[in-house]
Structure formats: structure tokens, C-alpha cells
Chain A
Amino acid sequence: KAGVTQTPRYLIKTRGQQVTLSCSPISGHRSVSWYQQTPGQGLQFLFEYFSETQRNKGNFPGRFSGRQFSNSRSEMNVSTLELGDSALYLCASSLETVTGGAYEQYFGPGTRLTVT
């Protein structure tokens, strides 16, 4: 099975712009989660989607948003970029069900976003 794929792998944007990142989960996985990784804050949860519904959201401003499509692919969007948004954005997919359960999450390689 192919793993989690993320595009693009690298991105350079200017302050004030917006950006969209894409994630394709492992086939059969319906849950997609997003995390931000920075040297200062470490790994922080952004949000999780299951069957096109956001089930959980981390403590990030409203500039961070996401969505999931019927084929389970997901996108996250960051509007009005700030320098502090520079980070590695990781997507993870999981065999979650409607009722949850501690299924392991499988991560993609990440998208490295640099804001200048």
C-alpha cells in the first residue's frame, strides 16, 4: 500500500499571502489529522477530519483551516501568513471509525513551509 503523500514538499511564501497544503491518506483510511512541527513549540495538533467532518481542533487561530473530501483527501489552508507560521506541516492518516479508538496514525513526509 502506498503511504501518506503530501504536496508540495517545500513551499516559500511571503507574509500576508495564503497557502494550501494537500494530503492523500493511505487507501482505506478515513481519518486525517494535521500537525505543525516547529523547533520552539514541537509537534502540535491542528485538526482532525473524518468523513468530511472536523471532529477535533487544536489551539490555533482561525487563519488555520482545513477540509476533507469524499475520497478522504484533505487540504489545510493558512491565510494571512505570518513569519511564525514557518514550520513543517505533517499529515497523518488512521483507520479510525465513527466511535474512535486508539488506532495508530501514519505520517506523511511533511510540507516544509517557509514564510519570508
Chain B
Amino acid sequence: GNSVTQMEGPVTLSEEAFLTINCTYTATGYPSLFWYVQYPGEGLQLLLKATKADDKGSNKGFEATYRKETTSFHLEKGSVQVSDSAVYFCALRMDSSYKLIFGSGTRLLVRP
């Protein structure tokens, strides 16, 4: 079946460091891919998305490129801030389905 695999956390970085959170997927067909972020005590917020191969989603300094050849959608940010500390979820969705399939989430902790 379709699935998403994320790197284990927590990821601990110093402020202004470069961030990469790995995400790979398995899908029969060509899914749309999403990154969501969850701050403590809150629901999920859509961070960015990409709907086809080679698309790059970007928002608030975060970027991710849809790589069909490696079935990946890694999240990157050039300079993280303390306020980026949260849990990040990679997700996929097939056009024929109405559900998001999530990875297990990666906790990011940014130290001042």
C-alpha cells in the first residue's frame, strides 16, 4: 500500500543552522505531497505542497522538491529559528482518494 517514511527525530539544531528532514514515499501512481507542521497543543498547519514531479513547494523559508526518481520530498530551510521548533509531518495523497497518509513525524528542536 501507499506509505510515507520520515527520518527519526528529534532533530536538534542551533539557531541559524541548515535544516534537512528526509521524507520518502511509496505509492502506486503519482501522489500529491505535503508538509504539515504541528506546534505544541495545536492542530496541523499546511506548510507547503507539490502536486507533480519536479515541483518545488516553498513557504516561510522552507522548501521541498518532488523527486519522482528517488520518491522523495525532503524538507529544507537555510537558517532555522527557535520559533521553528515543532513536529513536522510529511504526507501524500492520491487523486483517487480523499485521505492523507502521514509519516510518523519528526520533532525539531532549535536552540538559541
User: A residues engaging B (CB < 8 A)?
Assistant: 4, 6, 31, 33, 35, 42-43, 45, 48, 50, 55-56, 58, 90, 92, 96, 100-102, 104-110
Q: Is A33 touching B99 in the complex (CB atoms < 8 A)? A: yes
A48 and B98: CB pair below 8 A? yes
Compute the total of residue contacts between A and B using a CB distance below 8 Å: 58
Which of B45, B89, B97, B98 neighbours the largest number of chain A CB atoms within 10 Å of its CB? B98
Q: Does B69 reach chain A (CB closer than 8 Å)?
A: no
B interface secondary structure, majority = loop
**Taking the complex as formed, is B11 at the interface, i.e. its CB lies under 8 A from any CB of chain A?**
no
The answer, among B46, B93, B104, for a CB contact under 8 Å with A102, is B93
Complex A-B: 29 CB contacts under 8 Å: A31-B98, A33-B98, A42-B105, A43-B89, A43-B100, A43-B105, A45-B99, A48-B99, A50-B98, A55-B98, A56-B97, A56-B98, A56-B99, A92-B100, A96-B98, A100-B95, A100-B96, A100-B97, A101-B95, A102-B32, A102-B51, A104-B34, A104-B46, A104-B49, A105-B46, A105-B100, A107-B44, A107-B45, A107-B46
Q: Does B110 contact A (CB under 8 A)?
A: no
- A108 CB contact (under 8 Å) in B34, B43, B95, B99: B43
Chain A residues whose CB sits within 8 angstroms of the CB of B96 once the complex forms = 100
Contact string against A for B residues 74-112, beta-carbon threshold 8 Å, 1 for contact and 0 otherwise: 000000000000000100011111111111110000000
If A43-B102, A45-B101 touch, whether A102 touches B95 (CB-CB below 8 Å) is: yes
Give, as a whole number of angstroms, the nearest-CB distance from B69 to chain A. 20
Q: Is the CB of A45 within 8 A of B100?
A: yes
Q: Provide the bound-state CA to CA distance between A57 and B54, in Å.
A: 31
Nearest CB in chain A to that of B89: its residue: A43
In the complex, besides A42-B103, A100-B96, A101-B95, 9 extra interface pairs with C-beta distance below 8 angstroms are A42-B105, A43-B102, A45-B100, A48-B98, A48-B99, A92-B100, A100-B97, A105-B100, A107-B43
